[in-house]
Amino acid sequence: MVRLPPGRVLTLLLPLALLPATTTACAEREPTSTVVIGVTASANEPAVTLTPAVRAVLREAVVGGDVRLVVHRSSANSPITLWDGPISPRNGDGALERDPERREKALVGVLGKVESVVGAAAGDNPQLDPLGLLAAAARVPGAQTVVLLSSGLQTAAPLDLAERGLALDVPDAISALPVDAVPRLAGKRVLLSGLGEVAGPQQPLPDDGRRALGELWRGICLRGQGSGCDLDVTAGERREPVSLVRVPVVPVAGGLPDEPPGGSADQGAADAGSGEDADAGAVAGSATEVVTLPNALLFQPDSDVLVPTASSAMERIARRFGPGTTARITGHTAHRGAAEGALALSERRARRVANSLVSLGVPRAALTSVRGVGYDEPVRPEVDATGQPVPGAAEQNRAVVVELTGPVAAG
């Protein structure tokens, strides 16, 4: 055995201990999943924060196993890596921490560090390019979940909203994107967070502008074949921008015409034919907005007891209700366990969401349907035609879906 002098050992070990958090960790184990977060962080956007929905995505991934987190910031050339390493807590033996309380305590500390990193992000790209950032995030090897934290006000080609404004035909804008500009999202779950949140010289967006952005980015995600394309309805702490690099301002006059996003009028009529009562003031026959709330964001495991992160989501949805707005609330579960138990749990969760909205001032008469369907009506099939599991589908089915119909107020 070769014995090294004490000073030599110190020389070898200290540099490893002092490596910055942005350095890729040399893990002994392959992660079971990889989550990639992309932030634009321009001077026209609030400082980046982890919303309750983003935190719920990270918690859900950690519960499932060993997670690698990658955080990219938009830059003039290629994205800058702010974080790349494991975030799953481990016990004293180096194994994954399975005790829920100890795991949660350790995870809170890790998420605090991640929050500090993204909160200090200062974009240096003179153009706002969330499209390029999303494409880059999707190319990270092993990426299964991608989170885009951005206002969504693209000013770089081929989708320059500073030139086109928000009064655009959303389906045409999506279909006109060159094939090589569409992010390749097949098999990836995508969360779009912060859309329409602006600061600095960018004028706040009207309601129709926000709706246009939501439909635009969800449509881009779907064209990229994302296995889940969700809009974040929660909000984090709002802080002033960190970046000093301003990007072009997007004109806010106009926006998406008053038509039902997320489907054609024919599809809306089919939805209306479900036999549910509709409020006379609602736009007949179509869901104006569909909000999917992950159960991990709302409830304790296998329970209808709300967790603290639920309050922000409930308040934001309650603010969407205006005169004539109605909603259908449907609880779903993954295809696990006995059908009777799954049905009962989904019903309790749907009622809990309804009662929470009523407590926040939503008229109970505006909730035209409150029901649980267990795993009988999945949001997305969990197996493909060959009987193989569909990645991410079970997580998408663990949700409460709120379909808002009629005039929808700003969130």
pLDDT digits (tens, 9 = 90+) for 145-198: 999 999 999 999 999 999 988 888 888 899 899 999 999 999 999 999 999 999
pLDDT at position 206 is 86
pLDDT at position 179 is 92
374-404 pLDDT, tens digit per residue, is 999 998 888 888 888 776 677 778 889 999 9
Q: Which of 68-72, 226-230, 314-318 has the highest mean pLDDT?
A: 68-72
Instruction: Supply the mean pLDDT for the chain.
Output: 82
pLDDT at position 296 is 76
Buried b / exposed e along 38-70 (16+ C-beta atoms within 10 A): bbbbbbbbbbbbbbbbbbbbbbbbbbeebbbbb
338-347 pLDDT, tens digit per residue, is 999 999 999 9
Average pLDDT of the residues in 285-291: 64
Buried b / exposed e along 148-181 (16+ C-beta atoms within 10 A): bbbbbbbbbeebebbeebbebebeebbeebeeee
The residue ranking higher by pLDDT, 212 or 262, is 212
pLDDT at position 94 is 87
pLDDT at position 332 is 95
Average pLDDT of the residues in 41-49: 93
pLDDT at position 29 is 59
The residue ranking higher by pLDDT, 276 or 227, is 227
pLDDT at position 21 is 41
DSSP 364: G
Cα–Cα distance, 123 to 265 (Å, whole number): 40
Distance from first CA to last CA of the chain, Å, rounded? 67
Residue corresponding to tokens 């349907």: 369
Q: pTM (2 decimals)? A: 0.62
Average pLDDT of the residues in 87-105: 90
Average pLDDT of the residues in 53-63: 90
Contact status, residue 393 vs residue 381, Cβ threshold 8 Å: yes
pLDDT at position 396 is 78
**Is residue 236 pLDDT above 90, yes or no?**
no
CA distances to 68, 142, 276, 331 from 370, rounded to whole Å, are 38, 38, 10, 8
**Is residue 256 pLDDT above 70, yes or no?**
no
**Is residue 26 pLDDT above 60, yes or no?**
no
pLDDT at position 253 is 61
What single-letter amino acid sits at 333?
Answer: T
pLDDT at position 288 is 66
The residue ranking higher by pLDDT, 184 or 210, is 184
Q: Which of 161-170, 202-211, 362-371 has the highest mean pLDDT?
A: 362-371
Confidence class of residue 90 from pLDDT cuts 50, 70 and 90?
very high
Chain centroid to Cα 74, Å, comes to 18
**Is residue 303 pLDDT above 70, yes or no?**
yes
Q: Which stretch of DSSP H or E encloses residue 135?
A: helix 130-138
pLDDT at position 160 is 94
